Structure 1
Amino acid sequence: MTRPGDRELLAARLVPRRKPGQWISAAVVLVLVALVVRSLITNPRYQWDVVRHFFLRPSILEGLLLTLWLTAGVMVCGYLIGIVLAVMRLSSNPVLSTVSFVYVWLFRSVPPLVQLLFWFELASLYPKLSLGVPYVKTFTTVATAHLFTGLLAAFVGLTFDIAAFSSEIVRGGLLSVDGGQTEAAKALGLGKGRIFRRIVFPQAMPAIIPASGNLLIGMVKATSIVSVIAVHDLLYSVQLIYNQNYLIIPLLLVATIWYIVITTVLSVGQFFVERYYARGKGSSGGRGFWSVARDNISVFGRTRRDLAGIA
């Protein structure tokens, strides 16, 4: 049944619901942002000319390169160990499962800085490390003080710390895969190794990637603690300069800007990796980067495309 006026009502243009509170809050935030930007530009104490002068200095770039190298090496080795720990934790062997649990519990309980200091001072506990058959023959012996430099101590300490967290990320991703997938693969006669590599692990990646990306970005920033044991990373390179010229704030801004650049690049890369593994799941994985970014800017509101499609 139709009534008078139904045609005009159906043909009317849909108007989004008014949100005065959203516009007021957006205006307040924009004013605050404008004040902060104005302060950054007009305050001479930031000394942006000094920041520009030291931003591409060779010593700063060398520290940046070491930071990137340390982050990459720690993440790769940490995840290799973490995958092994995750498989051990899910194993039916009680010894393997217990060892993995104790490892994760221990290294997640100790702060990374304490671990670095421990490895850096390892020579006080074990002056010499030997390689050979226990109680039978020693092939070689090396002084721990000569072996564990600041860089190696930082690499080992951060790797073992990342391994503990990455194992839990991988374990959570593996548990997110339905057990029926494994049972179906076994019914087809596939081996355990092939089932893990070709079926379970690829399906676990959409759950692993977001947390792994956050862990990677956190690792970039966490490398700054290695400056405590005099490793020439980005922050320590900056500290060496401002200890001589006392331009502390401008040089800290140099390090800050570089960290922002690195984390921004990694965040964009994380988006595309997530979209690659999310394809076919009916999520935003198939949408473009700017489309997702634009739809998540709540200041400008969102168009009700579904209602517009009906109209």
Structure 2
Amino acid sequence: MTKTVATSKSVTGTKPNPQVHLLEIVPRKRYGQWATAVVLLIFSASLALALAQNENIHYATIAEFFAAEAVLKGLVTTFQLTAIGMLIGLVVGVLVAVAKMSENKVLKTLAELYIWIFRGVPLLVQILILGNFALLFPKLGVGIPFTDIMFFSVDTNIVITTFVAGALALGLHEGAYMAEIVRGGILGVDQGQEEAAIALGMTGTLAMGRIILPQAMRIIIPPTGNQFISLLKASSLIAIISGHDLMSTVQNISAQSYRTIEMLLVASLWYLIVVTVLNILQSKLEKRLSRSVRRK
């Protein structure tokens, strides 16, 4: 409870004004919020206790396989798939964003078509298509278009392995989302920057690479961190084509040990740990990038 006293100034200093009554400010009672918090705490505690005392969960199995060699190898593969997929997504995203903002109608149409397809088709479907790409094209090669002349060819399954198919699917899917993120970052840079660069004799491409994109990175990086975390979790879908990632590994182990829930919990714990670390790193990166920005 806070008491506020009205005062009046005089020559000698500040004195209480006896003609003004004391005002009592009473904070608003929030019974609904407290009741909701108590209910949620009771529910969370009950759920945690039920899981801890659940006889259907064999916690020794979780401890046994949590740091198993096969699981750790699957985790490394998941990182590799995510990193390669994100790299592909960044490169494709920048190119598609620039093409979509181009005055060339052909490039703009192709960019919009790419974004429409890869954002519209579910990632799981894209993974399955690339994982079974040999059914569409048994051989890949280089030749003269619209003729039967081939300089060389190779079996598709040799080139597009499950790992390559997974990385390509993640990268192409991510590229469609990164294109919109990059485009938003470019639009966030003042147009006068480009006009000044062109006035100095730079071409549009040179101005984009040296002036616009570096300034847009402050806007692009935060959502890119979110996309990387989402891509890491989405990489679990690679298990559908046995990509030897974390999810594929725990599924194989559960098929042999008949401990499905335990192995799913192992995967969940690793995903939670990795995502937590990435969230911390992203938060520090955002703070570093925002140092030069004065908040109003």
Tell me, yes or no, whether TM beats 0.5.
yes
* 2:200 matches 1:222: no
Tell me the CA shift for residue 144 of structure 1.
1.4
Tell me the CA shift for residue 263 of structure 1.
0.9
* 2:56 matches 1:45: yes
Structure 2 counterpart of 1:78, one-letter code: G
* 2:14 matches 1:2: no
Tell me the CA shift for residue 194 of structure 1.
4.2
Q: Using the alignment, how far apart are the partners of 1:106 and 1:243 within structure 2? A: 35
* 2:283 matches 1:274: no
104, 108, 132: which one aligns with 2:119: 108
Cα deviation, 1:219-265, whole Å, max 9, x if unaligned, reads 11111111111111101111111111111111110000001111111
* 2:199 matches 1:203: no
**What SS does the corresponding residue of 2:150 show, helix, strand or coil?**
strand
Whether the aligned pair in 1 keeps the contact of 2:143 and 2:151 (CA below 8 Å) is: yes
Give the alignment of 1:142-157 within 5 angstroms: 142-157=154-169
* 2:224 matches 1:212: yes
Q: State the aligned residue count.
A: 284
Q: What's the counterpart of residue 241 of structure 1?
A: 253
The verdict on how the C-alpha distance between 1:188 and 1:19 changes in structure 2, with shifts beyond 3 A counting, is: farther
Whether the aligned pair in 1 keeps the contact of 2:127 and 2:169 (CA below 8 Å) is: yes
* 2:83 matches 1:77: no
Whether the aligned pair in 1 keeps the contact of 2:229 and 2:278 (CA below 8 Å) is: yes
Whether the aligned pair in 2 keeps the contact of 1:205 and 1:277 (CA below 8 Å) is: no
**What SS does the corresponding residue of 1:45 show, helix, strand or coil?**
coil
Whether the aligned pair in 1 keeps the contact of 2:85 and 2:171 (CA below 8 Å) is: yes
Q: What's the counterpart of residue 169 of structure 1?
A: 181
TM-score, with length taken from structure 2? 0.86
Whether the aligned pair in 2 keeps the contact of 1:71 and 1:223 (CA below 8 Å) is: yes
Q: Using the alignment, how far apart are the partners of 1:249 and 1:137 within structure 2? A: 54
| Seq. identity, % | 39
Q: Using the alignment, how far apart are the partners of 2:92 and 2:17 within structure 1? A: 67
Tell me the CA shift for residue 92 of structure 1.
0.9
Tell me the CA shift for residue 84 of structure 1.
0.6
Cα deviation, 1:194-240, whole Å, max 9, x if unaligned, reads 43234322332233223222211111111111111111110111111
Tell me the CA shift for residue 81 of structure 1.
1.1
Q: What's the counterpart of residue 89 of structure 1?
A: 100
Q: Using the alignment, how far apart are the partners of 2:64 and 2:26 within structure 1? A: 53
Cα deviation, 1:28-70, whole Å, max 9, x if unaligned, reads 2222222222223232322222111110000101111100110
**What SS does the corresponding residue of 2:293 show, helix, strand or coil?**
coil
Whether the aligned pair in 1 keeps the contact of 2:82 and 2:170 (CA below 8 Å) is: no
**What SS does the corresponding residue of 2:56 show, helix, strand or coil?**
helix
Structure 1 counterpart of 2:232, one-letter code: V
Tell me the CA shift for residue 2 of structure 1.
2.5
Structure 2 counterpart of 1:40, one-letter code: L
Structure 1 counterpart of 2:175, one-letter code: A
Q: Using the alignment, how far apart are the partners of 1:15 and 1:73 within structure 2? A: 58
Structure 2 counterpart of 1:215, one-letter code: Q
Structure 2 counterpart of 1:61, one-letter code: L
Tell me the CA shift for residue 192 of structure 1.
3.2
Q: Using the alignment, how far apart are the partners of 1:12 and 1:276 within structure 2? A: 45
Q: What's the counterpart of residue 140 of structure 2?
A: 129
Tell me the CA shift for residue 15 of structure 1.
7.7
TM-score, with length taken from structure 1? 0.82
Unaligned residue ranges in structure 2 (runs of 5+): 1-6, 10-14
Tell which deviates more after alignment, 248-257 or 140-149: 140-149
Q: RMSD value over aligned CA atoms? A: 2.8
